[in-house]
Structure 1
Amino acid sequence: MSRNSNLYEAVGGEETFRRLVDTFYAGVATDPPLRALYPEQDLEPAAERLRLFLIQYWGGPDTYQQERGHPRLRMRHAPFAIGVAQRDAWLRHMKAALDSLELPPTYHDTLWQYLSGAADALRNTPG
């Protein structure tokens, strides 16, 4: 499935992405090494940014761009040391969140392929 075929609507729109991100951040909150990458006491602003980004990326409203401009993911993540351990922890929690949605395999696999590729692309330290 290509991004242009509007996966956003196909998987249930905002509610599905809200559940994905909320479940993901519930895992982040209980993972001290990963939680250390999030400087804000309250994880909700980070959750809202991820939710809006994913919604826009997959064909929903462009609220992320309106509020924050171009995503510039590598630049926005550059201040944080993201190595293999951080990437793997992020992916572990994201996989659990994605699996909890019980999406049809085509949609699950499309999302997972993107999320795992993005996580790897954001690594900025060798370890």
Structure 2
Amino acid sequence: MSESEAASIYERIGGAEAIDRVVESFYRQMSLLPQAQTIRAMHGDGLIGMKSVLKKFLSEQTGGPVLYSSEKGHPPMRQRHMAFPIDNYAADVWMECMDLALAEHVADAETRVQLHDKVQKLADMMRNTG
């Protein structure tokens, strides 16, 4: 097993600082892209709490510290998002914002694809309308 295979995604991207940069960029993209305005509106005016939750979730999902489930328990993410209509377009635009953030802050292409795949599963799971 190579060193890059043994290291977690969290370690390979640069840990908490990299997660912070990705999440900040993600929400910036969501605010800037015209096609993302509907999903940006679903997040409300204050993003501090949302950013914190996403940072904790991504930390855990990438092999970093278990911050999300230790605070919130096992993530019934789909259930928490059922109040919001998330169709294919919304999930795809959400993913577009994330991909732009990953491209900006994750230099290694293989690691970026691995992280994209993890986050894509989340976006796919959130779809709840046709």
Matched, 1:26 2:28: yes
TM-superposed deviation, 1:105 = 1.4
Contact 1:17 1:55 in 2 (8 A): yes
Cα distance between partner residues in 1 of 2:69 and 2:30: 25
Q: Deviations over 1:53-85 (max 9, x none)?
A: 010111111121222111111111111110012
The Cα of 1:5 is off from its aligned counterpart by 4.7
The two structures, once aligned, show a CA RMSD in angstroms of: 1.7
How has the CA–CA distance of structure 1 residues 102 and 60 changed in structure 2, closer, same or farther, with 3 Å as cutoff? Answer: closer
Runs (5+) with no aligned partner, structure 1: none
**1:37 is the counterpart of 2:42:** yes
TM-score normalised by the chain length of structure 1: 0.88
> Which residue is equivalent to 1:125?
129
Relative to its length, the structure with more helix (as a share) is 2
Aligned residues: 123
- Structure 2: gaps (5+ residues): none
TM-score by length of 2: 0.86
**Equivalent position to 1:63, from 57, 60, 67:** 67
2:91 corresponds in structure 1 to 87
Q: Using a 3 Å threshold, how does the CA distance of structure 1 residues 4 and 87 change in structure 2: closer, same or farther?
A: farther
User: Which position in structure 2 is the counterpart of 1:10?
Assistant: 12
Matched residues, percent identical?
Answer: 32
